[in-house]
Chain A
Amino acid sequence: MTGFSAARPAPVPVLTLGDILLVTLQGDLHDGAAEQLQHDITHRIAAGPGPVGGVVIDVSGVDIVDSFLGRVLAEIAANARLLAARTVLAGLRPAVAITLVELGLTLPGLVTALNVDDALARLGRTPSAAPPSHPEEGA
């Protein structure tokens, strides 16, 4: 739309925790940045330095999830599933959840978790607070 000719916003950093990709979204996410993120994650899973078993998207710092971002999140999950990685959406705020439901965006294909700890547990990894150990089987 309007933002394409302007200076591109800083891309969202994608962190690697073992074989998990951790993405923390903050504040207002630009449409272009969201698409860039989708592209980055897909490439990291398919051709990244190491194998990727899961993707955790932390949205606890996001105030507004509109229909576009909702669709991008669902597409990231669908892409990851095609590449044999599971995606967990973590830390959705109550107000954002209510808005999404009122908009009719229930994100049916996405696994959700209360926070990043729970998301890691859901992917079969012990939370970060636990002493270092090998990831348990049963993902």
Chain B
Amino acid sequence: MQVAEHDTASEAAKELGAFLERRREQIAQRWADATLFRTVFTISRDEAVEACKAVVDALADVARSGRLEDVAAPGFDTVRDQLGRMAGSRAQAGFDPAHIDGEVVGLREPVAALLRAEFAEAADPDAHGPTLALAVLMGTLRLVVMNTTVHAGQELISRQRRQMLEVATPVISLWQGIVAVPLIGTLDSARSQVVMETLLDAIVDQRAAHVILDITGVPTVDSLVAQHLMKTAAAARLMGAECIISGIRPAIAQTIVQLGIDLGSILTRATLADALAHALGRQDIAVPPRPVAVGASPR
């Protein structure tokens, strides 16, 4: 019984595969007018037809192999890249995955119509077999497109995250033996780890005796952020450098005090200029006192 069922299913799949191969040209011509292909391949219709043919070939290949429901079927491999690019260009045009999915669904009807017409001519009583197979196959195609879309999105996110980590932690050499790291944005564990590593490497490379962590761009300081700062300062001290934390705004100073965080072991200054003056003073470089009231900024 089960064997018979399996047989008819694979029969239907094979029949569908043969049908797709036979009508490759017609299907491709119809798909080229569908929204999905038309909007992606705007330059030439021939290009769209070629792309459609590639997809039809892939579908026929999958149908022949009988793995209608298998998203990982080898037949899809040839068009996976192309589908990913198409989905990507649709996503860039501002369409959400659900919309793209809807457009892929739209590809089924032209093929189904052709299939129905063919079997109506032949007056075949078993026409529902291939039709069902087609429905399953198109469902799998939807899943493949969805997968590539989601995958492309995830890749984008992880790439941007890496870029953010690199961009967000520059080490600036202010003076011989004095380096500064301006921190901008929220300081989480991953970022503070990167900051610590780049800072310690900079201490070795530039033989820095003083490092300044400027937190002007850090919006909030909670106990976790304070802990990260203290860890970084402690690591810098172990390397033989003195760590100064600057850019503490009044609001942040109040928060730190209210939270009861003890930054007593760390040197702090209000601004980067103050921190630099302190570091220069430690190197026996005379820094004239800043003019009071006249040029002093309120911060």
Contacts and interface: CB of A to CB of B under 8 A. Distances in A.
Given A101-B231, A114-B209, A94 B200 contact: yes
Contacts of B237: 106, 112
B209 A92 contact: no
Contacts of B241: 114
A114 B239 contact: yes
Contact of B204 (A90, A102, A107, A114): A114
Interface in A86-122: 89-90, 92, 94, 97-98, 100-102, 106-108, 112-115, 118-119
Q: Give chain A's interface secondary structure class.
A: mixed
Interface string B228-265: 00010011111111000000000000000000000001
Nearest to B265: A108
Given A100-B238, A106-B234, A107-B238, 10 more contacts: A92-B238, A94-B203, A94-B204, A94-B239, A97-B200, A97-B235, A98-B235, A101-B238, A115-B240, A118-B209
Nearest to B231: A101
Contacts of A119: 240
Contacts of A118: 207, 209, 240
Contacts of B201: 94
B258 to A, nearest CB: 25
A89 B200 CA distance: 16
Interface centre among B196, B236, B240 (most CB of A within 10 A): B240
A37 B235 CA distance: 25
A133 to B, nearest CB: 19
A112 B197 contact: no
B57 to A, nearest CB: 53
A112 B204 contact: no
Contacts of A101: 196, 231, 234-235, 238
Contact of B240 (A98, A102, A114): A114
B234 A98 contact: no
Contacts of B209: 114, 118
Interface string A43-69: 000000000000000000000000000
A109 to B, nearest CB: 12
Given A94-B197, A98-B196, A98-B197, A114 B203 contact: yes
Contacts of B203: 94, 114
Contacts of A106: 234, 237-238
Contacts of B236: 97
A115 B203 CA distance: 11
Interface centre among B203, B204, B235, B236 (most CB of A within 10 A): B235
Nearest to A92: B238
A113 to B, nearest CB: 4
A112 B207 contact: no
29 contacts: A89-B240, A92-B239, A94-B197, A94-B200, A94-B201, A94-B203, A94-B235, A97-B235, A97-B236, A97-B238, A97-B239, A98-B235, A100-B235, A101-B234, A102-B231, A106-B237, A106-B238, A108-B265, A112-B237, A112-B238, A112-B240, A114-B207, A114-B208, A114-B239, A114-B240, A115-B207, A118-B207, A118-B240, A119-B240
B200 A98 contact: yes
Contacts of A92: 238-240
Interface centre among B197, B201, B238 (most CB of A within 10 A): B238
Nearest to A107: B238
Nearest to A88: B240
Nearest to A112: B240
B63 to A, nearest CB: 55
Interface centre among B197, B204, B236 (most CB of A within 10 A): B204
A90 B239 CA distance: 8
